[in-house]
Chains A and B, each alone.
Chain A
Amino acid sequence: MIPTSEPTARLRPGEGAIARLACLVLQPVLTRVVRRVAARHPSLFARLGPHQATDFLIDPVELPFALHLRPDPQALVFRAVPRDTAPQVGATIRGRFLLLLELIDAEQDGDAAFFSRDLEISGDTEAVVRLRNALDDMDGSLAEEASAMFGTPGRAVLARLRRAYPDATKPREYA
């Protein structure tokens, strides 16, 4: 496995502390979301095959932290990590936050985002392809599902995010 994690941006003064705080606050939410998704979409793991044990770094470029995912059904890991303490991983997926969210929800095409250079991948390409295909085979919207877990406030946060990053959705609809 090729270690590929590399911090994308130099931290501004105080950013490290903000990142650490954000990670702490987010962690219970992430843990709940990933457990729920795993329970509701067990077929996801079959498509991942041997890469259930691979560590992924999902790196939303404009957020102060990245997400570390190990999609192992026996020992799921999904945690927010400050970039300066990100672990060595097998594969990294980098792009704007809402683009990543829309890729997960199949509202955007991963290959198109790669061709346009909005999406960057490094490390083990097979791991990324498997993760992409596993997520693409899920019906419904993960973002909606996750936000709905937190009721009205959850949905409000998602709507706000979508408003806050309108250009991450370009081109939004192809037909």
Chain B
Amino acid sequence: MSLAELICPAGTPAALRTAVDAGADAVYCGFQDATNARNFPGLNFTPDELAEAVTYAHARGTKVLLALNTYPPAGKVDLWRHAADTGARLGVDAFIVADMGVADYIARMYPGIRLHLSVQAAASSPEAIRYYCENFGVKRVVLPRILTIPEIRQIRREIPCEIETFIFGNHGLMVEGRCSLTNYLTGQSTNMDGVCSPASDVEYVRDADGSMSSQLAGFTIDRFGPEEKAGYPTICKGRYAAPHRPEGYYAFEEPISLNLSRLLPELIEAGVHAFKIEGRQRSKSYVRGVVRAFRAAVDDIKAGREANIADLIALTEGQKQTQGAFETKKWR
């Protein structure tokens, strides 16, 4: 049986402590800059905060993984190298990387620290994953959310590293690490600046009838009726009118969250080593609720009991959940 480690999000020091106390095996976090894919205003850690967080987590047997999972623009690698130097100095347990240049730097400078391949690298074939393992010593791959469980089982047999899969959270999965939709509208890059739908470009407009429009850079992404559940203002989850669908429809995805609580035993059996909970941008309340629920479920499964996962629907986007491609390739 795999270890079924629980990898939990932390957007602030308080969220990190909450995740540790709720039973996280490892917590992942990032600095307050473009080196990570949740570069949101007011979120993330200063080096001093990370130092305290590492001390707090290690004292309780929890690992800290530092996300350096964006792509440096050509000629601007210093910010990423400096972040890696700082993380190494502060004693993080692993770096989560996407860019080969960043992976190469860490592999050469800090060979004693584990490298995890971010979902942002979009490595979904055994050949691609083996390439990262052989050239940079990657110890774990976070798989893109486009694979079925039989496919994951097959990949596991053909790669020399551990597998981590998402089990809960945001489900915007166009082409991970390659999506340029935000860039197209706002000029900021999800993959290089670390923001999808930057808050500075988002506006919510309330109409007289109680409807709400969400807008990005002046473009209406969706309009929710007075009683309708809402989602994030991301382009991939927008509802658009097209000549063949003048009433408007979800052209890519709909507001929905991934929830694999019912598939945990199968994922463990398929050889998944670690389960990732998405949501560094979410609150302590979310972290506490989701981590506690999955901690109890994983412990039950390890003890041979049937897992009775708490209802997490209230925390999902659009208050809808899916098992996505993990259940069937027909998803979208």
**A residues adjacent to B (C-beta < 8 A):** 2, 46-49, 51, 103, 106-112, 114-117, 120-123, 125-126, 128-134, 136-139, 171, 173-175
Contact = CB atoms under 8 A, between A and B. Distances in A.
Contact of A126 (B41, B204, B212): B41
Given A106-B284, A109-B285, A122-B206, 5 more contacts: A49-B41, A109-B286, A117-B228, A137-B14, A175-B289
Contacts of B317: 111, 115
Nearest to A140: B14
A109 to B, nearest CB: 4
A-B pairs with lowest CB-CB distance, top 4 = A174-B289, A133-B42, A130-B42, A137-B12
A128 B203 CA distance: 11
A117 B229 contact: yes
B277 to A, nearest CB: 12
A175 B293 contact: yes
28 contacts: A2-B203, A51-B41, A107-B285, A109-B286, A111-B315, A112-B315, A115-B230, A115-B255, A115-B319, A117-B226, A117-B227, A117-B230, A120-B204, A120-B212, A125-B200, A128-B199, A129-B40, A129-B199, A131-B42, A133-B11, A134-B42, A136-B11, A137-B14, A139-B14, A173-B289, A174-B310, A175-B296, A175-B310
A122 B202 CA distance: 10
B318 A109 contact: no
B273 interface: no
Interface string B199-237: 110111110000010000000000010111111100000
Nearest to B40: A129
Contact of B224 (A110, A117, A173): A117
Contacts of A106: 14, 283-285
Contacts of A126: 41, 198-200, 202
A130 B41 contact: yes
B139 interface: no
Nearest to A117: B230
A174 B314 contact: yes
Given A125-B203, A133-B11, A111 B286 contact: yes
Interface residues of B, number: 50
B230 A129 contact: no
Nearest to B230: A115
B202 A133 contact: no
A107 to B, nearest CB: 6
A49 B42 contact: yes
Interface string B8-29: 0001111101000000000000
B15 A125 contact: no
Which of A120, A133, A134 has the largest count of B CB atoms less than 10 A from its CB?
A133
Contacts of A115: 229-231, 255, 316-319
A110 B283 contact: yes
A20 to B, nearest CB: 26
Nearest to A48: B42
A122 B224 contact: no
Contacts of A110: 283
Nearest to A50: B41
Contact of A114 (B40, B43, B230, B316): B230
Contacts of B224: 117
A134 B145 CA distance: 31
B329 to A, nearest CB: 28
